[in-house]
Amino acid sequence: NAGVTQTPKFRVLKTGQSMTLLCAQDMNHEYMYWYRQDPGMGLRLIHYSVGEGTTAKGEVPDGYNVSRLKKQNFLLGLESAAPSQTSVYFCASSYDRGGIGNQPQHFGDGTRLSIL
Amino acid sequence: DAKTTQPNSMESNEEEPVHLPCNHSTISGTDYIHWYRQLPSQGPEYVIHGLTSNVNNRMASLAIAEDRKSSTLILHRATLRDAAVYYCILRSFGGSNYKLTFGKGTLLTVNP
């Protein structure tokens, strides 16, 4: 049971380059999330999705776009990477329904992204 | 979001019990108490959650104060693998509260 899988695990980009981070889950979860974690700080929500074809902004959405074309995949895109986007990115999924809010989120192991 | 307060760090010895405290004096009646942990170079991992009653699972126990203004995560026999940052998070029932608000958590060191 793979759970939540993130690719790639590491990446170095130059300022202005674009890239897409892929998150895949095999638990048939409705909800998926993208967070970023910076040194000494907790995770911050970038974007999330409550179902296939829907996305919404989180706390820190600027500079990122997302897509949820298939239920099992959630893509995070950086159109023009900036050094401030150097971070560790975590994807998560959960089985929340109706905003119950008590279902745990399952996380991937992260993508470590450096932007020079 | 209601705020939680945890000690920055704690230390334990292997095979001894560990009690990790969390204060949440502004908790509302619809807030669940969640605990996650993050091992080095890994994503956060769900540990346990509860609303009012104490909870047990294979990983840990959660003791919730009667007034719900504090809770304690109990690891019954710490192992080296339990060394991690532990996060106490409040999550509301209902509405559109999708995010988990991670604070700085408690860094648990386990000594062999």
Q: How do residues A13-51 score in pLDDT, each as one tens digit?
A: 999 999 999 999 999 999 999 999 998 788 899 999 989
Chain B positions touching A43 (Cβ under 8 A) are: 44, 100, 102
Q: Average per-residue pLDDT in chain A?
A: 91
Do B101 and A42 lie within an 8 Å CB cutoff? Answer: yes
Residue B54, CA distances (Å) to A98, B66, B71, B74 in order: 25, 10, 9, 11
pLDDT of residue A20: 97
- Please determine, for residue A97, whether its predicted confidence score (pLDDT) is greater than 90: no
Chain B positions touching A104 (Cβ under 8 A) are: 34, 46, 49
Between A102 and A23, the more confident residue is A23
Chain B positions touching A108 (Cβ under 8 A) are: 43
* Confidence band for B29, pLDDT divided at 50, 70 and 90: confident
Q: Average per-residue pLDDT in chain B?
A: 91
- Does the CB of A39 have a partner CB in chain B at under 8 Å? no
Residue B38, CA distances (Å) to A76, A99, B22 in order: 22, 25, 16
- The minimum CA-CA distance between B111 and chain A, rounded to whole Å, is 23
Q: Which of B43, B51, B104 sits opposite A109 (nearest CB)?
A: B43
pLDDT of residue B65: 96
pLDDT of residue A40: 77
- The average pLDDT across B85-101 equals 76
* Confidence band for A88, pLDDT divided at 50, 70 and 90: very high
- Please determine, for residue B64, whether its predicted confidence score (pLDDT) is greater than 70: yes
Spatial distance between the Cα atoms of B28 and A87, rounded to a whole number of angstroms: 33
- The average pLDDT across B30-47 equals 92
- Does the CB of B32 have a partner CB in chain A at under 8 Å? yes
